[in-house]
Structure 1
Amino acid sequence: MNGFPIYQRHDQAFNSQYANIEQACAAQPRVLVGAPGTIIEHKRGDAVYYARQFMNAEGKRQQESLGGPKGEPAAEEYVTAVRLQIDEAKDLIGRIRELAKLNFQVADNKTYSTMAVLYNHGLFQAGAVLVGSHAYAVLLNSLGIKALAYETEDIDIARARQLALRGIPSGGLLDILKETGIDFVPVPGFNRADPSTSFKQAGRTRFHVDLLVPSKDNTFPIVAVPELSAHASGLPYLAYLLAQSHMGTLISRHGAVPVRVPEPARFAIHKILVSRLRTNMLVKSQKDIQQACVLLAMLGEHRSGEIELACAELPRSARPMIRRALPEVSRALEAHADAFAELEEGLKG
């Protein structure tokens, strides 16, 4: 075997710690947005009302009303439940800090808060999928491996079909995103008449959320997403990626949140496809190949058969693009011959 391994496995004990966090996280019907914080009391006239005081994604103090008045049974029951949720979140954060020291992938606070509001509104439960580099980080953790991480300020959310959602605010996705405490604004389209398919934090920052849907062909159309009062960018072969997904866990120093992510083999193969679709974006294309190969290496060595199965359902029109990328993939997988052999075999069908 030549070359150097492109990933390492975490010790089984640490993977068990992560699995315990996943289990605790999945039991949350709703997650706290921002740091857990504490419960405080406000006096209004002769009555006392409750609020949760916490640090938001940008490190600013924020308050969330918990109702009242103090002593009213329903209010006391709700505050007791929130206090328990705060204690559980603080316990999770303590365990996450330990995993962060061991090179598990930990998201930044703004990404966590964004995922939290999307989860609280039921997007991931309804079928929306986190894709891109943040999904890659979730997959690395769930597979129990560590590899070079890529810092990104992009959040990519995709959906294959209309989401069955309830209680969406009148402003749709933009209003949901603003629940983070971050001042999101629509990003103008490339052409002035085009609707926005992306939302960014106002000011001199690149932090943004892109909405994606499958394209019916090799074009990149703008498609209405009526259930979110928004529009999305169409992406070729995205339907292949979204056809199989599962719930995973995104961890951060503010807590943990369940998110839906693609199956790792499809994610890897789609990353290779995306690297061929990008034009004049060499750095991003190289990142796509590297992420794909890390996952392929692990799957080829420890979950034999998954790469070949994912290749079997790859659209025939996509196969020539994958084959053109094989020399670059082969170099990246120099130390992982089993994975490359399974990929080559899968593409013969």
Structure 2
Amino acid sequence: MDTRPLFQPHSRALATLYADLETYALSQVEVFVGTAGSLIERSNASGFTFYAHQTYDGSGRRRERYVAGPVGDATADARAERLRERIRELKALVPSFRLLGREGYVIADARTYATLASLHNHGVFAAGGMLIGSHAYGVLLNRLGVRAAAYGTLDIDIARSERLRFAEPPQLGFVEMLRESGVDFQEVPSLDRKRPSTSFKQRGRSPFHVDLLVPSRDESYPVVPVPELRAHATGLPYLRYLLADGQDAMLLAREGCCRVRVPLPERYAVHKLLVSRMRSGRSVKSESDVLQACVLCAALSESHPGAVGAAVAAVPKRARRYVERGVEVARPHLESRYVRAWEELTG
């Protein structure tokens, strides 16, 4: 068995820098989808001069959008200056993002960041939507101030427990929100043509995709309407346990950061043990589930003692048999090396 530590803590200085950046991220009502870009002046054929914002989107394509005009108009100039200040502010932070990435903080790739930034701008997370899966795991590692073995994923999991509570009904459906990232998403047809799509994939051969998920009432996997997003989602057993409580956090990228909502780390860990024993024919994924759970349990036992035990106690009775099986698989990673974590898992 691998005897290397499951995690390593970041230095206090890096943790402080991360906390400062997260404070900035959580204060942003709207973020740039892609790079900060630059503000430029353009003229049309009739000689009208105006301001335009030039950026690179989630697919790496250069984009340009009209900002205001004409140049010299007080209102247009003021609007341009506000945008110019936002660009300067973000660009000043980019060296800090890159420093954290070099030191082992989890950094989202450009497509993932642009996709989640678009959902943030459309109020999905503020309305109660939650980022789960491996990208949430990366956010949780960063918030706990620890680094662990790298993981790779080409999917984004977005979940909601109840109807999303938007301040105003969104003008766009879910797939249109995703496309505003600059990534050309399309619905993935179900094997059963009568069942609506619950997954949205980048057009072409890329496996990059987004899954929309909701809790199921039992251990089935139904297709459930999500009317407020004009979409459908896959129901997952015991997902309500994971979504019962969450926290606002920062998704970090090399050229930006944005606010997302993620589960509590202790519930994420216990839920991973649960789902690892419900998977069939996906041993690699199950192993990844258990390892993520062990890393979080070990880290939490040092920084937040008692949190894992409380999460175990809150598991629904019907799901406890799965958690118990998952705990047994976790035994080699925790029992002798992270005694406090093991004691909290086993009661």
TM-score where L is the length of structure 1: 0.96
Q: Is the Cα–Cα contact under 8 Å of residues 273 and 327 in structure 2 kept in the other structure?
A: no
Task: Tell me whether 1:209 sits opposite 2:210 in the alignment.
Answer: yes
Question: What secondary structure sits across from 1:266 in the alignment?
Answer: helix
Q: Is the Cα–Cα contact under 8 Å of residues 137 and 149 in structure 1 kept in the other structure?
A: no
Instruction: Give the equivalent residue in structure 1 for 2:187.
Output: 186
Deviation (angstroms), 1:149 = 2.0
Task: Tell me whether 1:177 sits opposite 2:171 in the alignment.
Answer: no
Instruction: Give the equivalent residue in structure 2 for 1:23.
Output: 23
Instruction: Give the equivalent residue in structure 1 for 2:337.
Output: 335
Q: Distance between the aligned counterparts of 2:133 and 2:121, measured in 1? A: 21
Instruction: Give the equivalent residue in structure 2 for 1:39.
Output: 39
Q: Distance between the aligned counterparts of 2:276 and 2:40, measured in 1? A: 50
Deviation (angstroms), 1:219 = 0.5
Deviations 1:130-182 (A, max 9, x none): 00000000000000000012111110000001112225234x01111111111
Instruction: Give the equivalent residue in structure 2 for 1:5.
Output: 5
Question: What secondary structure sits across from 1:233 in the alignment?
Answer: strand
Q: Which shows bigger deviation, 130-139 or 71-80?
A: 71-80
Instruction: Give the equivalent residue in structure 1 for 2:149.
Output: 148
Q: Distance between the aligned counterparts of 1:77 and 1:277, measured in 2? A: 57
Instruction: Give the equivalent residue in structure 2 for 1:94.
Output: 95
Task: Tell me whether 1:248 sits opposite 2:226 in the alignment.
Answer: no
Instruction: Give the equivalent residue in structure 2 for 1:271.
Output: 272
Deviation (angstroms), 1:291 = 0.3
Q: Distance between the aligned counterparts of 2:255 and 2:29, measured in 1? A: 17
Instruction: Give the equivalent residue in structure 1 for 2:159.
Output: 158
Q: Is the Cα–Cα contact under 8 Å of residues 196 and 232 in structure 2 kept in the other structure?
A: yes
Q: Distance between the aligned counterparts of 2:208 and 2:66, measured in 1? A: 28
Q: Distance between the aligned counterparts of 2:16 and 2:187, measured in 1? A: 41
Q: Distance between the aligned counterparts of 1:175 and 1:252, measured in 2? A: 22
Instruction: Give the equivalent residue in structure 2 for 1:199.
Output: 200
Amino acid at match of 2:99: E
Deviations 1:233-262 (A, max 9, x none): 000111000011010101111200110000
Q: Is the Cα–Cα contact under 8 Å of residues 4 and 335 in structure 1 kept in the other structure?
A: no
Instruction: Give the equivalent residue in structure 2 for 1:306.
Output: 307
Q: Distance between the aligned counterparts of 1:145 and 1:79, measured in 2? A: 40
Deviation (angstroms), 1:193 = 1.1
Q: Distance between the aligned counterparts of 2:28 and 2:338, measured in 1? A: 38
Q: Distance between the aligned counterparts of 1:76 and 1:162, measured in 2? A: 41
Instruction: Give the equivalent residue in structure 2 for 1:222.
Output: 223
Deviation (angstroms), 1:17 = 0.7
Amino acid at match of 1:337: V
Q: Distance between the aligned counterparts of 2:76 and 2:277, measured in 1? A: 56
- Structure 1 residues 89-128: aligned runs within 5 Å: 89-128=90-129
Mark the runs of 5 or more structure 2 residues left unpaired by the alignment.
none
Instruction: Give the equivalent residue in structure 1 for 2:138.
Output: 137
Q: 1:167 to 1:68 in 2, by over 3 A?
A: farther
TM-score where L is the length of structure 2: 0.96
Q: Which shows bigger deviation, 263-272 or 3-12?
A: 3-12
Q: Distance between the aligned counterparts of 2:231 and 2:120, measured in 1? A: 18
Deviations 1:110-134 (A, max 9, x none): 0000011000011111110000000
Mark the runs of 5 or more structure 1 residues left unpaired by the alignment.
none
Deviations 1:180-218 (A, max 9, x none): 111110000121111000101000101000000000111
Instruction: Give the equivalent residue in structure 2 for 1:72.
Output: 73
Instruction: Give the equivalent residue in structure 1 for 2:170.
Output: 168
Question: What secondary structure sits across from 2:277 in the alignment?
Answer: helix
Q: Is the Cα–Cα contact under 8 Å of residues 247 and 260 in structure 1 kept in the other structure?
A: yes
Q: Distance between the aligned counterparts of 1:320 and 1:16, measured in 2? A: 40
Q: Which shows bigger deviation, 331-340 or 245-254?
A: 331-340
Deviation (angstroms), 1:81 = 1.4
Q: Is the Cα–Cα contact under 8 Å of residues 5 and 336 in structure 1 kept in the other structure?
A: no
**% same residue:** 44
Q: Distance between the aligned counterparts of 1:72 and 1:294, measured in 2? A: 56
